[in-house]
């Protein structure tokens, strides 16, 4: 098992890095292998029987149970049928990621890209099982089911591990397409930013030139025919990201998804990301073509906005628009004067800002 995890870490670092965080427990009471989100429990006779390569595959299978939170999502569904539905969802991704699995794996092309819940609803009451690679509900230290607050906190912690593992694998050039697609869905933007940005700016930044309209300044002043401008650009954007203690991992990742969408869709000259809680913690500037793949979440204090706006003024930034990502509950809104540029307040909770425009940001639950 240790050798299989090491091989996964070298060849499939996404699966390997998450597997390293799961404690290995040998158990002769278990027929094959299972996970409860904290451990990988295995029967050594089963591991010896299937060999190293297939052991790698089954470990990756158990890792995907954890990644897709199957140990936390079952609710009142039948556990055996839930496990079968989860196996169908997992094996689809693993096979497209180049992971080799035992021949008796469960796979049906009709279930490709289906959520586990949807597969469950379309299975017979007693579906055929593949006989290996099980998932067990996570329970508390007292052996009782997790309460909702604990379950939510564990999901947030797991999301952080998933995104970190994906970034490590991507940096090594070994992030499978199926996993990258899954992670992208988890970060899917909820706002179509071009509409908001261009409405805020009024299309004042020239992106191109056209002879369909004349440049009035040149024609009126000098009677020289020059092309007019097409104004669609977004100029220089500042994104203030709330890094206070109330902002959870899933919100930070949603903010990252929105920022990634802005990078891809807006065509800004630059995007400066300011991390702020009770004070400015981080400042990073991205130029055209640069990807915002991670957020520096240094902070954890109270939620204040004024320090970020003071920083913009103090250091002479002249943004065409500012987007403030927050979970609401900003303590000092009434003390911030209107800065004179467009401000969009993107919040996961309703708010009434003293200036600018509020738009809601929905936090996505994992659907796979």
Q: Which residues contact 182 (CB under 8 A, 6 or more apart)?
A: 67, 93, 368
Per-residue pLDDT of the chain (368 residues; tens, 9 = 90+): 999 999 999 999 999 999 999 999 999 999 999 999 999 999 999 999 999 999 999 999 999 999 999 999 998 999 999 999 999 999 989 998 999 999 899 999 999 888 899 899 999 999 999 989 999 999 998 999 998 888 878 887 888 788 889 888 988 899 988 888 788 767 665 565 656 655 554 444 444 555 545 555 554 555 565 655 444 456 788 999 998 877 776 677 778 777 877 766 666 788 899 999 889 999 999 887 777 767 766 666 778 999 999 999 999 999 988 999 888 889 899 899 999 988 999 888 888 888 998 888 776 554 44
- Give the CA-trace dihedral at 280, 282, 287, 289, to 10 degrees: -130
| CA 81 to each of CA 27, 29, 101, 134, 283: distance values in angstroms, whole numbers, following the listed order | 23, 21, 20, 11, 49
CA distance 226 to 52: 71
Distances (CA, A) of 265 to 189, 239, 261: 11, 15, 6
Confidence (pLDDT) at 297: 65
Q: How far is CA 109 from CA 62, 89, 191, 316, in A?
A: 21, 10, 32, 56
Q: What pLDDT is recorded for position 238?
A: 93
Alpha-carbon distance of 91 to 100, in angstroms, equals 10
Which residue, among 54, 106, 101, has the nearest Cα to 83 in the 3D structure? 106
Q: What DSSP assignment string belongs to 243-284?
A: -STT--HHHHHHHHHHHHHHHHHT--SEEEEEEESSSEEEEE
Contact between 22 and 5 under an 8 Å Cβ cutoff? The reply is: no
Q: Where are the domains of the chain?
A: 2-176, 233-360
CATH of domain 233-360: 3.40.50.410
Strand-pair partners of 346 = 325, 359
Alpha-carbon distance 88 to 64, whole Å?
11
Residue 318 CA to residue 271 CA, distance in Å, equals 12
Q: Are 357 and 321 in contact (CB under 8 A)?
A: no
- Write down the pLDDT at residue 264: 63
Residue 213 to residue 167: CA distance in whole angstroms: 47
């Amino acid at each position: 098992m240790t050798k299989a995890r090491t091989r996964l870490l070298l060849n499939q670092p996404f699966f390997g890095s998450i597997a390293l965080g799961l404690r290995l427990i040998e158990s002769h009471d278990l027929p094959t292998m299972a996970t409860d989100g904290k451990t990988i429990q295995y029967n050594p006779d089963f591991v010896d029987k299937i060999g190293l390569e297939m052991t790698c595959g089954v470990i990756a299978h158990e890792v995907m149970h954890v990644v897709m939170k199957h140990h936390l999502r079952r609710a009142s569904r039948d556990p055996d049928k839930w496990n079968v539905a989860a196996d169908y969802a997992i094996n689809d991704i693993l096979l497209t990621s180049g992971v080799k699995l035992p021949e008796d794996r469960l796979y049906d092309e009709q279930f490709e890209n289906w959520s586990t819940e949807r597969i469950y609803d379309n299975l017979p009451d007693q579906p055929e099982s593949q006989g290996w690679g099980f998932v067990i509900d996570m329970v508390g230290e007292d052996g009782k089911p997790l309460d909702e607050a604990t379950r939510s906190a564990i999901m947030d912690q797991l999301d952080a591990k998933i995104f970190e593992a994906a970034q490590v694998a991507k940096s090594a050039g070994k992030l499978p397409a199926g996993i990258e697609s899954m992670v992208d869905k988890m970060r899917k933007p909820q706002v179509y930013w071009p509409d908001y940005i261009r409405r805020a700016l009024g299309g004042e930044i020239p992106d191109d030139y056209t002879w369909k309209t004349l440049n009035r300044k040149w024609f009126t002043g000098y009677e020289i025919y020059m092309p007019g401008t097409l104004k669609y650009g977004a100029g220089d954007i500042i994104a203030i990201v709330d890094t206070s203690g109330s902002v959870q991992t899933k919100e930070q990742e949603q903010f990252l998804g929105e920022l990634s969408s802005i990078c891809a869709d807006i065509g800004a000259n630059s995007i400066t990301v300011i991390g702020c809680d009770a004070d400015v913690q981080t400042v990073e500037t991205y130029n055209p073509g640069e990807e915002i793949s991670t957020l520096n979440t240094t902070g954890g204090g109270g939620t204040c906005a004024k320090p970020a706006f003071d920083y913009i003024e103090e250091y002479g930034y002249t943004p065409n628009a500012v987007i403030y990502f927050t979970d609401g509950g900003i303590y000092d809104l009434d003390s911030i004067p209107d800065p004179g540029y467009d401000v969009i307040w993107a919040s996961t909770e309703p708010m009434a800002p003293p200036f600018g425009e509020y738009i809601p940001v929905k936090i996505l639950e994992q659907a796979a």
